[in-house]
Every structure is written in structure tokens, then in C-alpha cells.
Amino acid sequence: MASVSGVPGVPGVIALVDEGLGNSAYLVDLGDGRALAVDASRDLRRLRGAAAGSGLRVTFAAETHLHADFLSGAVQLAADEGARVLASAAGERQFPHTGLKDGDEVDLGGLRLQVLATPGHTGEHLAFLLLDGDRPLGVFTGGSLIVGSAARTDLVSPDRTVELARAQYASVRRLLTLSDDLPVWPTHGAGSFCSAPPGADRTTTIGRERTTNPLLVGIGGPPAGEDEFVSRLLAGLGTYPTYFGRLGELNRRGPALVPVPVTPSALSVDDVLALQGRGAQVVDVRPVEAFAAGHVPGSLSNPLRPAFGTWLGWLADPERPVVVVCDRPTPHDVDDRDNVDEMDEVVWQALKVGFDNVVGELAGGLRAWRDAGLPVTATSVVSASEAAGDTGRTTVLDVRQDSEFAAGHVPGAVHLELGRLLDPEAVAAIRPGPVLVMCGHGERAMSAASLLLAAGRTDVAVLAGGPDDLCAATGTDLARGPAVSGSPAVSEGAGERS
């Protein structure tokens, strides 16, 4: 779910990569057993493990900006370890912190942080230049300059998107005045909905971005100017999870402290029925095949994987209690460390995206539900060869993101991003009859299928595989480009919403 590694060429700086959110936090050894944490999330397990492994205690927690994609762990570090929180004064956070502005410096006890105001991704965004004496060691850039891009500017307010994009240009140009060989340590990276191109690299250098960043490099001419930068940045903005709209304010107020341990209670079938009666939602974290074989009617399929938290935040309701269904023995009966860790992972990923409402898991899983004589819903997972002979009368529904669909899709497929299926009008616009849902591998497709089933559709199947597999089975080539409006597989008017 996350990885820990040293930053090349800079001893004492450890990157902690959250593969699901596409972000990196950093742990800096300050000497004498003290450490600085930068942009740590509420899920502090890896950071604390790395600190303990190096004999460190976090005494400073720096925040580059008010995060929209995860809840910050800075408040928890302050409460548990006495860490001093460093953040922008302009962010007006409502918890104890050292408010910083452009040009301020913080003595870390040997090393120093120099504050650079870098508005753009957010209005109060800061970058932190790490110095040893007068020698720059690297710069923590948060969501300003990142590997191959700059983070999106439409999260604060749609009305400020262009204004902040121009501010982002000025901030990036300012960072480019630093030395070419200076390491750049961004928070957002590949896989982040805060915008980053695909790729394995999580860190970079000023010189590399100056010469290769697509937002900055001129095409057959001089470097891109402000207007070209803004145009390219805005052209690359896709949709983002709905929960992004509320986490910035939660981070400003300060997330609630997390009690430990976090493993939720085991709930009887009667408990779950009572909770459902009070509005609880059931989230099934089992693999695709297990959900297809049988599940609690109306439940949301969201297989546990690195991206579980992102899709929970996008598809579930943060105001309703969450009951989890997973495949494991009752915790009271079996001492199974792997399964206990699985539920911990579910809860930590939920907490990280602002879901403090996981109330428990169904004890005994689906077997207990069946044994109680309660109804179970099933759907089909079909191979590309099985689906190939039936595409004529079946609506092929591709639920990947716009950029994925444009890069290559099954000819004639209907395109609705997974998040769009929360809109009853979008679901109602899909042509009546059989629906074959597809994504790249099957997890998002099963989430989509569960939403369609909950909305009353019955003839729904999921493709095991992606568009390449179905095209190979049908002997056709991938189509490219955005969805075509007016698709015959969608009722009148749905083209504009695809």
C-alpha cells in the first residue's frame, strides 16, 4: 500500500510513498534523534515505522498546503509527540501552529527551513527550502513544481482556477531560479488526482524540470510563456473525487485525533440490519470474483487495494455509517494477524480520506448473511472471449477516466466515468437491456456494476480484463479519442453528459 525509501543523494531524507493516493510524505533526520515530517497524512503507520527504525522522534511537522486529497497527520503528531506544526499563516488553521509567510526561516537545530510562498495549487501554498548552513539540500514543493507537471488549480474554487493557474506559473518560475542540481521533493506524484503524469519517478531536480517539463518546454521554440503554461495546465485537468471538496476545510479546522487501536467491532447480522434501518451503507471489500458470486443487496463493491480510500471517498456517503463485508473468520474466534491487518487497512484508508464512520464489519461475512436466510444478489464476471459473441445486443459501458478512454477504447462503447454513476439521470440514460461494464482490470467495473444493481438494473455483467482484451477477442482495433455524443447505446440527451 505504501513504500519507504531513502532519497537518492541526500542522506537522512526518507520518502514515504502512498501508492493509492499517488503522494509522498518525507521524514528528515535532524540529528540528536529528532526528525522533521513534511506533508504527513493521518495514516502515520509507515512514517512512525520509519522513524522508529531510525531511532527518531518527530519534533516538527511541516505542511505545504491545505490538502484536498487526504487528512493531515500534523495535528496527531503534535498531540502524540509534541511536534511543532509549521504551516502558512494565510491558511488560517484553527489549531496551534507556527504561522509562516514568505521569507521566514525556521531553525530546526542545525538545519534550516526557508519559506517560499508558492500560491497556485492553493492560495496559501508554501514551498520549503532545506538548508545546511547556507547550502541548499533540496526543496519540498508540495503541489507547485512536481515531476513533469504542476498540480491542478481548480480545487479551491472554479471561479479562481485561471487566477491560480497564473499564480502557479509565477511560483514555478520562481522555483526555477534555484540551482539546476537542487533536488525537488514534491508531495503529489503519479496516480494523484491532484494532477501528475504517469511515471515511476517521485522526485526530480530543478534542471530536469526546466528542460523536460511539458508545461514549461516550448514546442519548437522558446520556453512556454504564461499563457501557454496556463493553457496546457488547464487542458490536462480531469475530474477528481467528490471528497476533495470537503477535506481542505477539515484540514483547516484540524482533523479529529484518531484512537488506537482502530480495528472496528464485529457486528451480528441483526446489528447490521438495525444499522441499515438507520441509514447505514454496506461496503464490500472482497475481490471482484467473490462479490460477483454473491453479496448483500445494495452494497457497494470496493475491493481492498491501494486505491480503496480514493474510491470510498468518491462513491460512499461520508454522513452515513459504513458496515464492511470481507472474507475472513470472526475475529473473536480466530487469531489471524493477516485478516486483522486487512481490517486495519480498510479503516486507516477510510480515516485518511475523512471517513470516521466505519462502525464495524459483518461477523462471519457473507456466509453469516446467507445462514440467516437473507437474500443475496449475484452478477457475472465474463471473459473477453465469452463477451465477444454478444456485443451486438449488449451495451458496453466503459467507466474509466476520460483520459484513459481517449487513449484507447472498444469501438462503440458508451463512456461514463465511474463517479458519474452516482447521478441517477446518467444511469437512467443507459439503454435498457444487457450491460457489460469494463475498466482496465475489473475493480472499478465491479464498483460500477454494484451501483447499477443498487439502482435497479438487473442484466449487468463485468468484463474480466480491459479494452485490449475485448478488441483482441472481437478482432477489432482500439478506437481513440473522446466519447462521441449521441451514442445509440445511450438514451436521447445523454451524449452531453458522457
Return the pLDDT at 40: 98
Parallel, antiparallel, or unpaired for β 34-38 and 23-31? Answer: antiparallel
| Neighbouring-strand partners of residue 385 | none
What nine digits make up the cell of 180? 539546476
- Mark whether 439 is an active-site residue: yes
Euclidean distance between CA atoms 65 and 85, whole angstroms: 12
**CATH level 3 topology of 259-371:** Oxidized Rhodanese; domain 1 (3.40.250)
Return the pLDDT at 196: 63
Can you tell me which residue has the cell 522533521?
36
Return the pLDDT at 494: 28
The string of pLDDT tens digits covering residues 306-351 is 999 999 999 999 999 999 999 865 444 434 444 558 899 999 999 9
Return the pLDDT at 429: 92
CB 19 within 8 A of CB 189: no
Please provide the CATH number assigned to the domain covering 2-247: 3.60.15.10
Label residue 108 exposed, middle or buried (CB < 10 Å: 0-12, 13-18, 19+): buried
Return the pLDDT at 391: 64
Return the pLDDT at 8: 57
CB 322 within 8 A of CB 309: no
Label residue 56 exposed, middle or buried (CB < 10 Å: 0-12, 13-18, 19+): buried
CB 414 within 8 A of CB 395: yes
The string of pLDDT tens digits covering residues 77-135 is 999 999 999 999 999 999 999 999 999 999 999 899 999 999 999 999 999 999 999 99
Can you tell me which residue has the cell 486505491?
307
How far is residue 104 from each of residues 120, 175, 187, 195, 226, measured CA to CA in Å? 19, 16, 21, 28, 27
Residue 218: pLDDT band by 50, 70, 90 thresholds?
Answer: confident
Range name among 39-53, 178-192, 331-345, 386-400 with the lowest pLDDT average: 331-345
Euclidean distance between CA atoms 43 and 49, whole angstroms: 11
Torsion of CA 302, 304, 310, 312, to 10 degrees: 40
Euclidean distance between CA atoms 358 and 65, whole angstroms: 27
User: Mean pLDDT throughout 69-83?
Assistant: 98
Return the pLDDT at 157: 93
The string of pLDDT tens digits covering residues 220-251 is 567 889 999 999 999 989 999 999 999 999 99
3-state secondary structure the chain: CEEEEECCCCCCEEEEEECCCCEEEEEEEEECCEEEEECCECCCHHHHHHHHHCCCEEEEEECCCCCCCCCECHHHHHHHHCCEEEEEHHHCCCCCCEEECCCCEEECCCEEEEEEECCCCCCCCEEEEEEECCEEEEEEEECCEECCEECCCCCCCHHHHHHHHHHHHHHHHHHCCCCCCCEEEECECCCCCCCCCCCCCCCEEHHHHHHHCCCCCCCCCCCCCHHHHHHHHHHCCCCCCCCHHHHHHHHHHCCCCCCCCCCCEEECHHHHHHHHHCCCEEEECCCHHHHHHCECCCCEECCCCCCHHHHHHHHCCCCCCEEEECCCCCCCCCCCHHHHHHHHHHHHHHHHCCCCCEEEEECCHHHHHHHCCCCCECCEEECHHHHHCCCCCCEEEECCCHHHHHHCECCCCEECCHHHHHCHHHHHCECCCCEEEECCCCHHHHHHHHHHHHCCCCCEEEECCCHHHHHHHHCCCCECCCCCCCCCCECCCHHHHC
Is residue 486's pLDDT more than 50? no
Longest pairwise C-alpha distance within the chain: 72
Is residue 2's pLDDT more than 70? no
Is residue 6's pLDDT more than 90? no
Instruction: Tell me, yes or no, if the two domains 2-247 and 259-371 fold the same way.
Output: no
The string of pLDDT tens digits covering residues 257-302 is 998 888 889 999 999 999 999 999 999 999 999 999 999 999 999 9
User: Mean pLDDT throughout 39-58?
Assistant: 97
* Percent of the chain topping pLDDT 90: 84
The string of pLDDT tens digits covering residues 351-369 is 999 999 999 999 999 999 9
Residue 10: pLDDT band by 50, 70, 90 thresholds?
Answer: low
Euclidean distance between CA atoms 324 and 265, whole angstroms: 10
Q: Where are the domains of the chain?
A: 2-247, 259-371, 380-497
How far is residue 381 from each of residues 22, 56, 72, 192, measured CA to CA in Å? 29, 48, 38, 29
Euclidean distance between CA atoms 265 and 110, whole angstroms: 46
Is residue 495's pLDDT more than 60? no
Is residue 18's pLDDT more than 90? yes
CATH 3.40.250.10 fits 380-497, yes or no: yes
Can you tell me which residue has the cell 473525487?
241
Where on the phi/psi map is residue 110: left (φ > 0), alpha (ψ -120 to 50), or beta?
A: left
Active-site hit among 194, 326, 439, 471: 439
Residue 423: pLDDT band by 50, 70, 90 thresholds?
Answer: very high
CB 468 within 8 A of CB 441: no
The string of pLDDT tens digits covering residues 138-192 is 999 999 999 999 999 999 999 999 999 999 999 999 999 999 999 999 999 988 9
